[in-house]
A and B are shown apart, each in its own frame.
Chain A
Amino acid sequence: MAVLDANASEPVSQGVQSQARTAWTLTAPALALMFLILLVPICVAGVLSFTNYSLGNTGFDWVGTENYERLLTRATYAKMFVATLTYVVTVVPISLGLGLGAAMLVHSLGRVGDIYKTIYFLPVMATLLAMAIAWEFMLHPSIGMVNRTLEMACGSWFEVIPFFANGCADRFPLWLGDKDYAIWVVCFIGIWQGFGFNMVLYLAGLTSVQRELYHAAEMDGARSAWARFWLVTWPALGPTTVFVVTISCIRAFQVFDTIEAFWPQGGGPNKSAYVMMFAIFEKGVQQNLIGIGSAITMLFLIFVMILTLIQRWLVERKVHYG
């Protein structure tokens, strides 16, 4: 080959040129769409976040950082940040923990565990809107299965627990109609829906942990299962964990379906479940306040990008470490 190249450098460089041309032709559609659908909109949102633009109006004014100031000072938006953060901070660690726990249990059972794997994965596949409506029925204060099940505990020793005592004496919570419970119910459904996905990722991670490592750890004096977990399993699952955390965070930031299904009028009792994605939809689309909607979009993007960059950095460090 080398001889051939030396003798015929002219045709080869032509070949390289034509290859470059083909390469650009092949990537052109993807590049064009990346610009049009991903990069231009970000710029558009960035620009509009400094204006008071509305769809249908001919002109608009520059308002400087007014939209951002509003986001950081008004009480409604404070509720938005609180609800979003509550959701992310609750759903991510719990769905990670449950996913890992389920994966370890299922893994240790061998083939028998496959049935649980199938069951736990079902919510990941199911249309979240449909399941949100099903949950709404489950949580219905009078005909719902949840409160009916709770009522069965009345009159038994369960009444020692204050929650049951209050529920049996008066009534059990309204769940979705109660501002103290609403966001937690949404979190619960988020965990219910998402932990199966994490479980599958962890299962893949677990199968790749080498057996010898456990033996080595045992020789080194790691007698208890707990010690082996911290010495071998957890570090080996590091890259998986980093990935699971990032993807769960991004998904958690984007929660929308359940909120809109439960409270189409807006964000739950006393705005206790007014998450960012719903705010973008309500302000930007329903109320046509595009400036403020764009400002929320920009903050949202910044959060997500920071998260992903942290993930990249962590993964790269792990790779060098390993």
Chain B
Amino acid sequence: MTRTWWKHLLLILGAIIVLAPFYMMVSYSLKSPGEIDRGEGGFFGRQEMMVDPRCVALQQPDRADIQAARTRFPGQDDGDVQAALLAETEAECSMRPVVFNYSKAFTEAPLIRYLLNGVIVTVSIFVIQIVVALPAAYALAKLRFWGREAVFGLVLFCLLIPVHAIALPLYIMLAKLGLTNTYAALIVPWTISVFGIFLMRQFFMTVPDDLIDAARMDGMTEFSIVWRVMLPTAIPALLAFAIFSIVAHWNDYFWPRIVVTGNRDLFTPPLGLREFKGDGDGSFFGPMMATATVIVTPLIVAFLIAQRRFIEGITLSGMK
């Protein structure tokens, strides 16, 4: 019994360290700048109303405003009117810290746009990877042709090449083609997944030949066999591969950092977050952590919902 307790103690200690930055990230995204600065307020902060200094600065009442508002404050001099207006603006600009942080995250930078870009890029990459890899994997697993060994050898060789490592020549080629700062630049280098071909081929090897022969008897072409027979049987392997591909490209920072320079319309979520960091002004810790939370959440939630699938998917990579 005591042994079990020791194990739990050790694992809990590890869990605290693992969770600490997540805790801090979410907690800061809920707190006001003052609370972050002084380290107060527990996890949720006190959620007292706070005034957004930038909002006030933007709506500072000027001479024209005072003139216009004079009728609303009869018999008061300019100073009083101004003070009254300022109080109104401050009331308008005050909100709960959590609202402040998250609304700033979405308004200060086009975060929705970044998230959308993230989705466009990850989904396009995955779809193209499948369209390219599936037929090749089928041919390598199930068709006999002269040169098959050579093609498979090439696949095995390409498995040695980490695409991140050849980023520089790829970048030069894309720059020469005038493709930097386009969606194509974000997607093209990832369209070929040698790992995907390998994974699918191994999976297809286990599919019985009879199934394919039966499809041929029915008069299906090889092409339609790939999409109408092999694709449905490969769903588990495809899911595993999807997890890999999507996690890698949603989180990727290195490649977008190289090929997207300045064009905010193409920023992926990590680039958007980095831009926030560039702002560097102390009162922005809250909104920045809110942005980080928004970016990290989709995959974490997907993982928590479909844990078993994720872990099976990751495990499948160990089959090499």
Contact check: which of A41, A127, A281, A308 meets B173 at CB < 8 Å? A41
**Bound state CA distance, A134 and B293, in angstroms?**
10
Contact check: which of B140, B166, B247 meets A45 at CB < 8 Å? B166
Whether a CB of chain B sits under 8 angstroms from the CB of A94 is no
Interface residues of B in 246-262 (CB under 8 A from A): 247, 250-251, 253-254, 257-258
Contact check: which of A30, A123, A127, A301 meets B166 at CB < 8 Å? A301
How many inter-chain contacts with C-beta < 8 Å in the A-B complex?
260
Cβ–Cβ contact A137 & B28, under 8 A: yes
**Smallest CB–CB gap between B282 and chain A, Å?**
9
The stretch among B41-49, B89-97, B267-275 that forms the contact with chain A is B267-275
**Smallest CB–CB gap between B59 and chain A, Å?**
30
**Smallest CB–CB gap between B71 and chain A, Å?**
48
**Bound state CA distance, A45 and B165, in angstroms?**
11
**Bound state CA distance, A111 and B24, in angstroms?**
29
Given A19-B143, A23-B148, residue A243 in contact with residue B320 (CB < 8 A): yes
Interface residues of B in 78-135 (CB under 8 A from A): 131-133, 135
Given A24-B145, A243-B318, A284-B168, residue A44 in contact with residue B257 (CB < 8 A): no
Given A23-B139, A145-B24, A309-B160, residue A192 in contact with residue B17 (CB < 8 A): yes
Which residues from B are CB-within-8-Å of A40? Answer: 169, 173
**In this complex, which of A38, A135, A305, A308 has the most chain B Cβ atoms within 10 angstroms of its Cβ?**
A38
Whether a CB of chain A sits under 8 angstroms from the CB of B170 is yes
Which residues from B are CB-within-8-Å of A106? Answer: 11
**Bound state CA distance, A297 and B166, in angstroms?**
7
Interface residues of B in 19-72 (CB under 8 A from A): 19-22, 24-25, 28, 36-37, 39
Whether a CB of chain A sits under 8 angstroms from the CB of B179 is no
Whether a CB of chain A sits under 8 angstroms from the CB of B211 is no
Contact check: which of A257, A280, A305 meets B167 at CB < 8 Å? A280
Given A126-B22, A126-B296, residue A260 in contact with residue B318 (CB < 8 A): no
**Bound state CA distance, A197 and B318, in angstroms?**
11
**Smallest CB–CB gap between B303 and chain A, Å?**
5
**Bound state CA distance, A153 and B303, in angstroms?**
37
**Bound state CA distance, A308 and B17, in angstroms?**
32
**Bound state CA distance, A305 and B159, in angstroms?**
9
**Bound state CA distance, A300 and B166, in angstroms?**
9
Whether a CB of chain A sits under 8 angstroms from the CB of B289 is yes
**In this complex, which of B147, B170, B269 has the most chain A Cβ atoms within 10 angstroms of its Cβ?**
B170
Contact check: which of A138, A277, A300 meets B24 at CB < 8 Å? A138
Cβ–Cβ contact B154 & A122, under 8 A: no
Cβ–Cβ contact A122 & B19, under 8 A: yes
Cβ–Cβ contact B192 & A105, under 8 A: no
Identify the closest chain B residue to A254 (Cβ).
B164
Whether a CB of chain B sits under 8 angstroms from the CB of A4 is no
**Smallest CB–CB gap between A144 and chain B, Å?**
9
**Bound state CA distance, A198 and B147, in angstroms?**
37
**Bound state CA distance, A244 and B320, in angstroms?**
11
Which residues from B are CB-within-8-Å of A48? Answer: 169, 172
Given A256-B254, A281-B258, A308-B159, residue A37 in contact with residue B164 (CB < 8 A): no
Identify the closest chain B residue to A202 (Cβ).
B318
Cβ–Cβ contact B303 & A122, under 8 A: yes
Which residues from B are CB-within-8-Å of A200? Answer: 311, 314-315
Identify the closest chain A residue to B243 (Cβ).
A125
Given A41-B173, A122-B303, A200-B311, residue A22 in contact with residue B143 (CB < 8 A): yes
Cβ–Cβ contact B166 & A138, under 8 A: no
Interface residues of A in 201-251 (CB under 8 A from B): 201, 203-205, 240, 243-244, 247, 250
**Smallest CB–CB gap between A311 and chain B, Å?**
9
Given A31-B154, A38-B166, A204-B315, residue A277 in contact with residue B192 (CB < 8 A): no
Given A41-B170, A134-B292, A200-B315, residue A277 in contact with residue B299 (CB < 8 A): no
Whether a CB of chain A sits under 8 angstroms from the CB of B239 is no
Given A29-B135, A34-B192, A125-B300, residue A133 in contact with residue B273 (CB < 8 A): yes
Whether a CB of chain A sits under 8 angstroms from the CB of B277 is yes
Whether a CB of chain B sits under 8 angstroms from the CB of A92 is no
Which residues from B are CB-within-8-Å of A135? Answer: 21
Which residues from A are CB-within-8-Å of B132? Answer: 29-30, 33
Which residues from B are CB-within-8-Å of A300? Answer: 165
Contact check: which of B24, B299, B320 meets A125 at CB < 8 Å? B299
Cβ–Cβ contact B18 & A122, under 8 A: yes
Instruction: Please list the 4 inter-chain residue pairs (A to B) with the smallest Cβ-Cβ separation, ordered nearest first.
Output: A41-B169, A30-B136, A33-B192, A26-B135
Listed A/B pairs (24) with beta-carbon separation below 8 Å: A26-B143, A30-B133, A44-B169, A44-B173, A98-B14, A116-B11, A118-B307, A120-B18, A121-B303, A122-B19, A123-B18, A127-B270, A127-B296, A130-B273, A133-B289, A134-B289, A143-B37, A204-B315, A254-B164, A256-B253, A284-B168, A294-B168, A304-B160, A305-B160
A residues in contact (CB < 8 Å) with B: 16, 19-20, 22-24, 26-27, 29-31, 33-34, 37-42, 44-45, 48, 55, 98, 102, 105-106, 108-109, 113, 116-131, 133-135, 137-138, 143, 145, 148, 192, 196-197, 200-201, 203-205, 240, 243-244, 247, 250, 253-254, 256-257, 260-261, 277, 280-281, 284-285, 290, 293-294, 297, 300-301, 304-305, 308-309, 315
List 12 other contacts, CB 8 Å, given A37-B189, A105-B11, A126-B296: A19-B145, A33-B191, A42-B166, A127-B296, A135-B21, A138-B20, A201-B315, A201-B317, A203-B311, A204-B318, A257-B254, A260-B257
